[in-house]
Amino acid sequence: MTPHERKELIAKYAAGYDEVIGALDGFPKDKLTAHLIPGKWSAAEIIQHLADSEMTSAIRLRLLLVEDKPAIQGYDQDLFATRLMYNERDIAPALEAFRASRSTTVQLLERMSDADWLREGTHTEVGAYTPEIWLEIYAGHAHGHADQIRRLRETLK
């Protein structure tokens, strides 16, 4: 990955929170927990997932930067959604956790050295894992979920 490509992905990552907030604009509060598309998460579940995923991903990056060859633990996102009662909790704290975690991580991404980008760990589900792989995954993660929220909102029309 070139420095220019990294810079573009970091900018995309930094814009993720605003993308999600934009997708939520005009979404009826009484429909946030509705399963508007059968078999898919509600908007509230997506937001709770983003908070948990963002906090987890922030720790993953930090482990890659601090520890030598860290083990990066995977998790079952559907089990998180069920056991952590995603559809029963207020989304405001989840949005704040998502925003804050992403904001502090952007500060790190913007300051990483070339050597930092070459650090390696092992993800329990996918194997070799580096900060570049991390960035490729998470740069578009929020954008993809913002698109899901928009599709949910479209079903209301």
CATH number at residue 77: 1.20.120.450
Cα-based distances in Å from 101 to 1, 14, 38, 41, 81:
24, 11, 31, 22, 19
Q: How far apart are CA 30 and CA 11, in angstroms?
A: 33
Beta bridge partners of 25: none
Domain around 8: 3-154
The model's pLDDT over 44-82, given as tens digits with 9 standing for 90+, comes to: 999 999 999 999 999 999 999 999 999 999 999 999 999
The model's pLDDT over 92-145, given as tens digits with 9 standing for 90+, comes to: 999 999 999 999 999 999 999 999 999 999 999 999 999 999 999 999 999 999
Counting the structural domains of the chain, the total is 1
Residue holding tokens 């482990």? 63
Q: What is the pTM of this model?
A: 0.95
